[in-house]
Amino acid sequence: MSSVNDTKFKSAVFLLTGIPGQKDVHNLWISLPLCLMHVISILGNSVILLIIKTDPSLHDPMYIFLSMLAITDLGLLMSTMPTILGIFLFNSREISFDACFAQLFFIQSLQCIESSVLLLMAFDRYFAIHDPLRYASILTLPRIAKMGLVCVLRGVAVMLPLPLLLKRFHYCQVNVLSHSYCMHQEVMKMACSDISVNNIYGLFITVITVLLDLLLIFLSYVMILKTVLSIASYKEFLRALNTCVAHLCAVLLFYTPEFSLTLLHRFRKGSSPLLLIVLGNVNLLVPPLINPIVYSMKSKYLRSRIIRVFVK
């Protein structure tokens, strides 16, 4: 009898959400800036990757880490673009269970990788300011490659249990998600089974990835600040701090909406659905859009190379 009831109520798909209460004509107007954001983000990150790859003078640790960040941002865009644009352009709201689990795995893994890359970039800034004479010998290309591989393996290993655990559950509710893509915190709440393991594991991976990375980034900047305060020349002091501005912007752009969204999903009683949707899209779309712009503005040489590409 139980299996009959499960079959009766278990849906084959989740339903994603665009903007609640908006008509199709409004969704069309929203889709235009979303499409533009995707195009600019993909173009911006691709140009940065192309320039860093083709210009040997940019094969320094800072630019290699920037290329890692660009690759991760492109991965996040590719993971979310089919469902976000599918909803606003074609009103295609359905996503199968397997596709949803795959999407949330890629999103969570890539966000974990991006958090790790931002941590590596903080270490890079510390070594560049604290010990500039040994900077190149500390962050060699083989060592950077190993660090990048560890970031990828960490993201995959930590996030792989999430879709496997979700796949075991029965989903017998009205499976309407409040975002235009699949999130672990939300999908697990659709289950009719006991989700205690997912709750505990989700909290555990938040602590050992995002919170740990943020703490280490903070400690890195404490040491950077300690180093720059010992610099006698005011001009050199400002120059040292200026090299960290772009990275600080990237950290704020990544962690602020990430933590806001996580807190709203855990303690969201009375929260506006529209706020959740806006924060969800900001969380995934704004960092890939702004990061290339900020780094291009702060790096004179990178900016000149980009101008040269488009002026030709």
Six-digit token string for 295:
């780094």
pLDDT interval class at 173 (50, 70, 90): low
Higher pLDDT pick, 173 / 219 = 219
Average pLDDT over residues 155-177: 87
Output the pLDDT for position 125: 93
Residue 193 φ/ψ region, left for φ over 0, alpha for ψ in the -120 to 50 degree band, beta for the rest: beta
The answer to whether residue 6 scores a pLDDT higher than 60 is no
Residue 180 · residue 79 · CB < 8 Å: no
The H-or-E segment that residue 95 falls in is: strand 94-96
Specify the amino acid at residue 122: A
Query: Alpha-carbon distance 104 to 110, whole Å?
Result: 10
Average pLDDT over residues 97-103: 92
Residue 153 · residue 116 · CB < 8 Å: no
Average pLDDT over residues 119-136: 92
Specify the amino acid at residue 111: Q
The answer to whether residue 106 scores a pLDDT higher than 50 is yes
The H-or-E segment that residue 94 falls in is: strand 94-96
- C-alpha dihedral, 23 to 29 to 31 to 32, nearest 10°: 170
Output the pLDDT for position 112: 95
Average pLDDT over residues 176-189: 86
Domain boundaries, the chain: 10-311
- The CATH number given to 10-311 is 1.20.1070.10
Query: Alpha-carbon distance 53 to 57, whole Å?
Result: 10
- The answer, as to whether pTM is greater than 0.85, is yes
- Which tens digit of pLDDT belongs to each residue from 185-229? 888 888 888 888 888 898 899 889 999 999 999 999 999 999 888
